[in-house]
Every structure is written in structure tokens, then in C-alpha cells.
Amino acid sequence: MTLVESVRLRQVLDSRGNATVEADVVTQSGGFGRAAAPSGASTGEYEAIELEPGEAIAAAREYAVPRLEGKVYVGDQRDVDRTLRAADGTDDFSEIGANSAVAISMAAAKAAADVLGAPLYQHLGGAFRGDDFPVPLGNVIGGGEHAADATDIQEFLVAPVGAPNVQDAVFANAAVHHEVADLLDERGVPAGKGDEGAWAPSIDDADAFDVMEEAVAAVSEEFGFDIRFGLDVAAAELYEDGEYHYDGETRTPEEQVDYVADLVEEYDLAYVEDPLDEDDYEGFAELTERVGDRTLICGDDLFVTNTDRLADGIDVGAGNSILVKPNQIGTLSDAFDAVELAVRNGYDPVISHRSGETEDTTIAHLAVATDAPFIKTGAVGGERTAKLNELVRIEQNASRL
């Protein structure tokens, strides 16, 4: 193991053109790691706190960097992350910012991997096992907080569950993205793009379901394997005064459960994220009881990569899957803890990007290292394809080991 020599922090652009925090970690033996923090738009109330980037950098330089340089070994990721938590001194990284903490945490892991001369996923403890790989979920129609004048449901996600390898899955997702564009054009519907590169047409949810169903069927036939689709409802963004507010319609919590359960049945959905409000453990449990044997009911705003909230959900059977976002909790170690608790209790971990992304590829390695069955990356866009292309490279390299 080798000590941290220096930690450098700077502001760089994310995919929305906003500032975010990037960290460089250099070790005394010459190892180097660089990582940048993403940023969410649809954020859960219980997420770790992201500070304004300049403020986060200043605080990290004052409180965290002096505790790391010359004192912490990069090969001990938990020690790095414990040091970041101790430097912050709060439960939610409100002192130095989760954006500075996660950038340093990921950069330290990359520096350690560089010292070892190993790919990051191996340093973090994983490799492809047989024919297993994380299936990429690609956002191809988007609305909600990610696009104006589009669908109420935030994300319509392609899920190439029958793909024989990562490369075929990646190209199938891109093909669905292109097919959706063609179908919208045939309908005379113009469409710009939302934050994650998904099409953001001015159509209602019912039309979006029709387009997705047709696009997935066409590409599945072309590629010769099963492709399904799923949703990120982002229901907390629709919930107000005890009801879910859709365009021209409201639903009670009980009606929302019925609505989502019917969608799972009608469209054979592979995945449903945040179908209910972030505090509705009971509603999640009821929906899971009804359809959890045929689809993933995934908690994002519900669990926020937090083991305490996940444990509460496990106790009542809320969901059967957790979305894992390192910046949502602040460090790689905390993200690993959430994955491990989930797996021990039969929950599937889904590693995820954020709507405001960078070219950083850490989550691709994290998905492989944790043997996660799914990864949310988007389908197109440089900051999204960075992760997808890295998965293709990992698969090819791992097959040679």
C-alpha cells in the first residue's frame, strides 16, 4: 500500500453545462486517479447534501485534504472513506459536500488500482462471472424533472434482458433509441432531448407506452433476443397533498398502486423505479406483494443508497431492488454497504448514473465489481456512452483473463 501524496480539486463541467467537483489523487509511489461527481435533478429528500461546487471544494481543502495527504493509504478504501466522514463530521456530508467526498473517494480507488496495475473493477473486488454481466437500462423517452412539456412518467427505459453479451445489449439500446425517433417522426411528433439524451416529445404517457412497445418489439425481432422495457416513475415528484398529480388526472395512493400494477401486467415491464412517494413504505410493500414476482420494484428516492432506509424497507417488504448512486450517499464504501445489505436480503442492486453526468466511468466498474444485475447509464450521449463503452471494454478484457 502507498500513502496519499496529494489531493487536487477543481471545478469542471457536467453534461448540463453546470459546474461539478473533480478530484485528482496522487500517491507517494506515483499512482494516479481522477474522478468527477455527477449531480441529480430529481433528488430524494434524504440524499446526502451536495454543496455549491466552489463551497464544497473550499471545505474539502480545509477539512478533508489535510487528513488524507501523507496519512492515509489509498489501498484501504474504507480508511479513505472513514477519513472523509470524520473530516465532515455530519451524517449527510453537509460540511464538505457529498460532491467533493464522492469525487475524492472514487479518485482514491482509481489511484489504488493504478498502483496495482489492475483495472478498477478488479481492485474493487469483482470480475465477470461466467456469462453474467450487468444489463444496461437505457432511458429512451423522458419527461418529469428531466424535460419540459413531455411525459409525466420521468423515464421509459429499454431493458435488453435477453442479450447474450454487453456489446449486443449496448447496441440494442441504441437501436431502440433510433427506432423511437423514427416512430415519433412517422407520427409527426417533433422531439428534442432531455438531460439524459432521451427523446422528450410532447406526448402523453399512453402514447409513450405505445411507442415504446412498438420500438422494443421491432428491435427485439431485428436482434433476435428478448428486449423489454421499464419505467422510472419518479412518483415523489408527482405527489402533493396526498395525491399523485398527472396531466388532467389525480390518483390516490391506492389508485397509484393499482395503476402501476396494471402497467406491469399490460406491458410485461421488466423494471419499475420509484412507483410511489419516497415515504410510502407500505405502498411499496403492497405493490411488491402484487407484482414483485415478475418485475423489479426499485427504490431510489425511497432508499437513497442508505442502509438505514434500506433496512426499514426490508423489514416491511418494500420493493425488491435498490438503486445505488455513490454520490447519493457520499463514498464508495457506503455504496458497497448498501449493495451488500441488499444482496443478503434478496434485493437486486441496480448501479446508476445521474441526470447531470460526467465522462467518469467509475459506475461501470462498480457494477461489475458488485456483480449487479443491472446498470442505469442512459443510451446515447458522450457522458452516457462513456460508461457503456467501458462495459464493453471490461467484458472483452475479462474474457481474456
Q: Is 325 among the residues known to form the active site?
A: yes
CB 285 within 8 A of CB 261: no
- Bridging pattern class, strands 32-36 and 321-324: unpaired
- CA-to-CA dists, residue 387 to 46, 50, 127, 217, 369, angstroms: 26, 23, 16, 25, 14
Which of 110, 325, 376, 387 is catalytic? The answer is 325
Q: How many angstroms from the chain centroid is the CA of residue 272? A: 14
Buried b (16+ CB within 10 A) or exposed e, 175-194: bbbebbbebbeeeeeebebb
Say how far apart CA 182 and CA 165 lie, in whole Å.
26
* Residue-by-residue DSSP string for 106-168: HHHHHHHHHHHT--HHHHTT----TT--PEEEEEEEE-GGGSSSS-SSSEEEEE-TT-SSHHH
CB 310 within 8 A of CB 341: yes
Which of 22, 95, 179, 196 is catalytic? The answer is 196
Q: Is 69 among the residues known to form the active site?
A: no
- Bridging pattern class, strands 239-240 and 348-352: unpaired
Say how far apart CA 31 and CA 18 lie, in whole Å.
29
The residues assigned a catalytic role are 196, 325
